[in-house]
Structure 1
């Protein structure tokens, strides 16, 4: 006899749609499929790319420059990127790595908030997202895309003490991987790592929504294992999470914080959701950046941007 989820558990499961639901949905129906088909479907469900522009996007703001980053010298595939320099020429610069589903047009509100803090921001769409070339991304291709963007950021901000890596949700795992590779890949140095609303591993997300004894780590080809990598990251790490995040539980950031061995800080934002910690706790966020990284940032923008509470 097949085992069924209790009705209240099923309702809770179906409400939590974005990243976590995608991970678990990839498991059951794919067991009977071939390895290639399983990997293809798993990647589709992990990244869940929404084509076109986000419904709340109102256009490129003044001062933001659209640019293209070649993936390989002489190659045709390129990454679509936004470069939004701060008003101060000596401002710290930050690489923004977004999560699943939405392309850059769905992340402008958070990019704007980071610039309001005083950062110059370089943000990219991974292959397969938005205007970037390529087809369906994978764990390895998004890692590669982040490295290409990081080298470009180093050309925009030559001072390593003023370069930062930022990742939100699934992008947090991409950010951790990039920070982990800085020395091994002789990549340009960074001052710090900022990870918001992220998780330990993709398998942990799936287990949190299902039966903990399920061997999901054996079924998923996309690992996104941040918890083992962050223990070897040598940068100061700021972890931010909303206490009311319905998609990725705040305990995952607590576990990442416990695993990190260098200078670190955990900012839990009371009442914040998966997407609005920066808006709800702008002053606390800015203070944490100053405390951990020694940044003298501009006053936070206290205006509530439309869709900022998403």
Structure 2
């Protein structure tokens, strides 16, 4: 083969590789903005049920304290609402909201815990609600912030006798499982997660296939690189199964049987990952984050009984 022909082939190959790299760069930038940048997400259902609106109106009027904290990494100002129980108690449930939501979206759960005699602390995750931030953390950088909220709560409610439960829905459920793998203060006694994913990577890969019919490689690794550069964290670290393997606390897993946003299969993977005392509730016919609304009485009874068992 003549040198000129070889040179032309190499130029063509180089040009094709350049186009592929540039195309991947544009695609990963689009996906990063689509999934990680704080803004309204068209693929997320908006609106609230009448029951939630009623609970939000209650939460707005109920006397509460607004707390502020600085993020664990960086200098983001974070906000949380502390809703004291009607009767003084040392028992508090910390509730974590879902993707693109905020503490007000947790009003029905806050009221459920309040009605059962608990204090409630409801933080806004970074890039959510009243908290600062432009990049959504999917629960991983947020769980480091939540360790600060927990320490703040212990100081508030009494270091010696404080008893704390952690509860989260969707991204908040994943946050609870991420926390399960950390060295938590001894005052944290029990964990409850509702429809959290088995890892950030697996959830993004699933959604990429569901929404765009694309394989995870090479786009997911490329998006992760952009997340590390622009968001300051590696979302591969956000692995619920890996964290649950280190968990020693009793944990209740909840999921809807018709969940197509965080597929129901993930709750079985999460449940199998921990050897700690555990319980599983799969609500028949419930969609994503819809288990409470679908079966309110059963949901509340299961949650309260679990808390009564481990918050004596």
The two structures have a TM-score, normalised by structure 2, of: 0.71
Match of 1:218 in 2: 221
* 1:286 Cα offset (Å): 3.7
Secondary structure of residue in 2 paired with 1:218? helix
Match of 1:166 in 2: 167
Match of 1:175 in 2: 176
Match of 1:42 in 2: 32
Q: What does the per-residue CA deviation read over 1:161-180, in whole Å, with 9 as the maximum and x for residues that have no partner?
A: 73111111011121112221
Question: Is residue 59–residue 111 contact of structure 2 (8 Å, CA) maintained in 1?
Answer: no
Matched residue pairs, number? 262
CA root-mean-square deviation: 3.5
Match of 1:93 in 2: 92
Question: Is residue 175–residue 195 contact of structure 1 (8 Å, CA) maintained in 2?
Answer: yes
Q: What does the per-residue CA deviation read over 1:3-32, in whole Å, with 9 as the maximum and x for residues that have no partner?
A: xxxxxxxxxxxxxxxxxxxxxxxxx99822
Match of 2:25 in 1: 32
* 1:62 Cα offset (Å): 3.4
Secondary structure of residue in 1 paired with 2:60? coil
Secondary structure of residue in 1 paired with 2:166? strand
Normalized per residue, which structure has more helix? 2
Q: What does the per-residue CA deviation read over 1:22-51, in whole Å, with 9 as the maximum and x for residues that have no partner?
A: xxxxxx9982249xx74x952751465449
Match of 2:297 in 1: 283
Question: Is residue 154–residue 162 contact of structure 2 (8 Å, CA) maintained in 1?
Answer: no
Match of 1:229 in 2: 243
Please identify the structure whose Cα radius of gyration is greater: 2
> Structure 2: which 5+ residue stretches go unaligned?
1-20, 225-234
Question: Is residue 49–residue 102 contact of structure 1 (8 Å, CA) maintained in 2?
Answer: no
Q: What does the per-residue CA deviation read over 1:124-163, in whole Å, with 9 as the maximum and x for residues that have no partner?
A: 1122222223332435531222112111222233366731
Moved more, 189-198 or 285-294: 285-294
Distance 1:136 1:146, change over 3 A: same
Moved more, 87-96 or 154-163: 154-163
* Equivalent residue runs for 1:1-310 within 5 Å: 31-33=24-26, 38=29, 42=32, 45-46=35-36, 49-50=39-40, 56=53, 58=57, 60-71=59-70, 77-90=76-89, 92-138=91-137, 140-158=140-158, 162-183=163-184, 187-209=185-207, 210=209, 214-215=216-217, 218-221=221-224, 222-223=235-236, 224-295=238-309
Question: Is residue 164–residue 191 contact of structure 1 (8 Å, CA) maintained in 2?
Answer: yes
Question: Is residue 63–residue 85 contact of structure 1 (8 Å, CA) maintained in 2?
Answer: no
* 1:104 Cα offset (Å): 2.1
Moved more, 95-104 or 82-91: 82-91
